[in-house]
Structure 1
Amino acid sequence: MRHAHIHLIIGALLALGLFAVPAQAAPVICEKYGSTTVQNGRYVVINNVWGADTAQCIDVNQNGGFTITQAAHNKPTNGAPASYPAIYAGCHYANCSTGSGLPMQASSSSFGSLRSSVSMSYPSSGTWDAAYDIWFDPTPRTDGQNTGAEIMIWLNKQGSIQPVGSQVGTVNLAGGTWQVWFGNIGWNVISYVRTSPASSLDFTINTFYADAISRGYAQRSWYLTSVQAGFEPWVGGAGLAVNAFSFSSGGGGTDVTAPSTPGAPTASGTTSTSTTLTWGASTDSGGTGVAGYDIMRATGDTFARVGSSTTTSYTDTGLSPSTTYRYRIRARDGAGNVSPDSATVTVTTQAGGGGGGSCAVTATTQNTWNNGYVIQPVTVTNRGTSAMNGWTVTFTLPSGHTITGIWNATYTVSGGTVTVKGLAHNAALAAGAGTSFGYQATRPDGNTQVPSGYTCA
């Protein structure tokens, strides 16, 4: 597992006044922790060989970049990288650029307009990643280790390396699709690994930070302290180059408000391999508008993004027959802010092969609280080509749960299995027709489970 940059030794050198920060024309830097400023102090460039004692030199471009001209690294790929040479705006262990406006609280009206861009070049050899490293702290810290969140944006990588922690999902942001990784090493590390390599990126900082907040890994009250772009080499690294870098407060708008929660999804047209979801539209008061919706699906406890839609409907295909799935929807606005997840709908696909009396069932979680919930509608549909004279829905009631009421149906409970049957007015269904029922249940206080495994016969 890769470890994030722990630069305590840098802070010590700075405190002792041993960290030279020349303001003259950009040099070639070979000192282990050497740095310089470019563009009259607007950015700082650091060599930052924090994880190895091997040689590394960078040729600094006064226009705003650098090239690794020498790198003799040969680190194991299951451990930490050798270094993080980078160009940055803001403060890093008391080494601050000028005019960045950082630290800045992420709740500030100006935060949504913060924007950065980078252009990079890559060699064909070596083992490395090309990544932004964006730091947040609960306080407006200018020195020492940040303890809030470290957001890493991997534009490219080469070799068998991976970020801290484990993958927790995928997301579409800033014109690309990214794997999302999470780990904690004394602070939260949220890494976005591009699924198709890129050599440039132009984005608002809030685009990725809003996604991290929506996942519970960061807080709007924290402070952005620095925006860094560079490389983590394990093996070699010569030839890696930042051709251009920028950080500014213009062009991104000031929208830091998440869209409203989408309406509860419902499912229809469920077959053995697909289902169609529809939901109520979200609204956005931040000014950038709702840009689309993420469809989240789970077969166990963990939801993962399986698709997106710019409308309020989505057909999920490639499903397995006789399998129960749960779905939630979340909205995303033009600035990358993400809404809370919608209520959950439970869908059980039909058995393979269909037939004259096949029956499908979908269940929607309408409301939940600490010790109870309401499930409605539970929709029963005759997907066959002939009439059904009756239907039976079964599902699993989690341990400790008790049904306190049901409407539009009758039920019995045996062990943890609930059996529901239609009433005189809705038991018979013509081909293609449907009906619905609902129920309320209690559960142990704080238990977040709801019933699953709905089947229909």
Structure 2
Amino acid sequence: MRALRALAATAAASLLAAAGLALTSQPATAAGQICEQYGSTTIQGGRYVVQNNRWGTSATQCITPTSSGFTVDQADGTSSTSGAPKSYPSVYYGCHYGNCSPSGDILSPNGVQTSSSAFAGISTSVSMTYPGSGTYDASYDIWFNKSQPNAKTGQNDGAELMVWLNHTGSIQPIGSKVGTASIAGATWDVWFGTSGWNVISYVRQQPTSSASFAVKSFWDDVVARGYGSTSWWLTSIQAGFEPWIGGAGLAVTNFSVTTNGTQPTQPPTTPTPTPTTTPTQQPTTPPSGNGCTAALKVDSQWQGGFQATVTVTNAGSSSINGWATSWAFPSGQSIQSLWNGTATTSGSNVSVRNAPYNGSLPAKGSTTYGFVGNGNAPSGIALACATS
């Protein structure tokens, strides 16, 4: 179930949502388009579950799973923007009303306590595409129980942590705005409300189509505000959409969760606008001292923007515990958003340090970070790399 996204959640809407939730444990359908109200299937050999989860409307909704996410093909009907959304088509890792992702899932069936080292090592990444019309939010929905759950757990009683990457129209999270936070390289408006459990929503001030973060980075802020506890248990990590009007064309193009303290390696896709030209640049691999090298590759470019990936390699014969790269943009380019690292800029000069989870590299080991840039895609940039 999704917590109500109303300005003031009504009792009637809560009853409707609760009625829908009881059905989400229906057996998963076969692969292919899913139009059943609570139909689901698994992808990537059972690692993730894709669910239609149409709980707030009787109108037809159909989704098609892909190898790394899903696409909303049909989304009929509308809901009042002052009430609950129509649905939450999504892909998830963990257990949702007894429907669990089975392959190597540390959350199934008993979850992970948020005070544990296992929880500290959980990170997630998502990439999305949006249609040109409709009223919706694009969001993570991450669920917590107050005590250790099992596979039969229905509604979580602890907290619903939502991370809104984008939204359109007049919709807003449940409750009221209680502050702001700087997490995962962005600034978020923080909302708090209740719906039988705590609902904490982080609304990105600058919309994006991709995100990559350690779940603990948001949960630490939840706990600091008094809305959660380190004794609670994480049960599922979900990413998808809450549509009120329309929704056809929404898609999760890539979703991943890692549980070993490393960030998902597949970078997010390019946010809108869609690239219109094929990049001509080749990776630049300038040598640099102090034990590491950095190579920049432009993945795609479009009018006024580009996306690039930087590969950092430990060139030494022993492990390193941190790295930093730096360069100067040649023609007024700037960074719009960045993942898997922490950027500092001064004019055209850029420095990117490792994130908390990808600074340690074995001898000859490598990691990547990516960014979306403003301006024309650069060529011939010389990157410096230093270890710490």
TM-score normalised by the chain length of structure 2: 0.62
Provide the C-alpha distance between the structure 1 equivalents of 2:257 and 2:24, rounded to a whole number of angstroms.
24
Q: Is the 8 A contact 1:127 1:234 kept in 2?
A: yes
Gaps of 5+ in 2: 1-5, 264-320, 323-354, 358-388
Of 130, 135, 142, the residue aligned with 1:134 is 142
Q: Is the 8 A contact 1:8 1:144 kept in 2?
A: no
Change (3 A) 1:218 1:38: same
Is 1:164 matched up with 2:174?
yes
Could you tell me which residue of structure 2 aligns to residue 97 of structure 1?
Answer: 101
Deviation at residue 31 of structure 1 after TM alignment: 0.6
Provide the C-alpha distance between the structure 1 equivalents of 2:157 and 2:227, rounded to a whole number of angstroms.
12
Q: Secondary structure at the match of 1:153?
A: strand
Q: Please tell me whether Structure 1 or Structure 2 has the larger radius of gyration of its CA atoms.
A: 1
Provide the C-alpha distance between the structure 1 equivalents of 2:24 and 2:68, rounded to a whole number of angstroms.
23
Could you tell me which residue of structure 2 aligns to residue 191 of structure 1?
Answer: 201
Is 1:68 matched up with 2:72?
yes
Provide the C-alpha distance between the structure 2 equivalents of 1:95 and 1:85, rounded to a whole number of angstroms.
15
What is the identity percentage for the equivalent residue pairs of Structure 1 and Structure 2? Answer: 54
Is 1:86 matched up with 2:72?
no
Relative contact order, CA 8 A, sep 6+: which one is greater? Answer: 2
Change (3 A) 1:94 1:8: farther
Change (3 A) 1:11 1:185: closer
Q: Secondary structure at the match of 2:117?
A: coil
Is 1:58 matched up with 2:63?
yes
Is 1:224 matched up with 2:234?
yes
Change (3 A) 1:11 1:171: closer
* Correspondences of 1:404-415 after superposition (within 5 Å): none
Gaps of 5+ in 1: 254-287, 290-332, 336-457
Could you tell me which residue of structure 2 aligns to residue 315 of structure 1?
Answer: none
* Correspondences of 1:367-446 after superposition (within 5 Å): none
Q: Is the 8 A contact 1:169 1:179 kept in 2?
A: yes
Could you tell me which residue of structure 1 aligns to residue 259 of structure 2?
Answer: 249
Quick one: which amino acid aligns to residue 41 of structure 2?
T
Deviation at residue 73 of structure 1 after TM alignment: 2.5
* Correspondences of 1:277-356 after superposition (within 5 Å): none
TM-score normalised by the chain length of structure 1: 0.53
Q: Secondary structure at the match of 1:202?
A: strand
Deviation at residue 7 of structure 1 after TM alignment: 5.4
How many equivalent pairs are there?
253
Q: Deviations over 1:283-336 (max 9, x none)?
A: xxxxx99xxxxxxxxxxxxxxxxxxxxxxxxxxxxxxxxxxxxxxxxxxx958x
Q: Deviations over 1:39-73 (max 9, x none)?
A: 11111010000011111000110x22000000112
Could you tell me which residue of structure 1 aligns to residue 281 of structure 2?
Answer: none
Deviation at residue 182 of structure 1 after TM alignment: 0.2
Q: Is the 8 A contact 2:88 2:241 kept in 1?
A: yes
Provide the C-alpha distance between the structure 2 equivalents of 1:173 and 1:202, rounded to a whole number of angstroms.
11
Deviation at residue 140 of structure 1 after TM alignment: 2.3
Is 1:29 matched up with 2:37?
no
Q: Secondary structure at the match of 1:29?
A: coil
Could you tell me which residue of structure 2 aligns to residue 112 of structure 1?
Answer: 120
Runs of 4+ in 1 over 6 A off after TM superposition: none
Deviation at residue 79 of structure 1 after TM alignment: 0.1
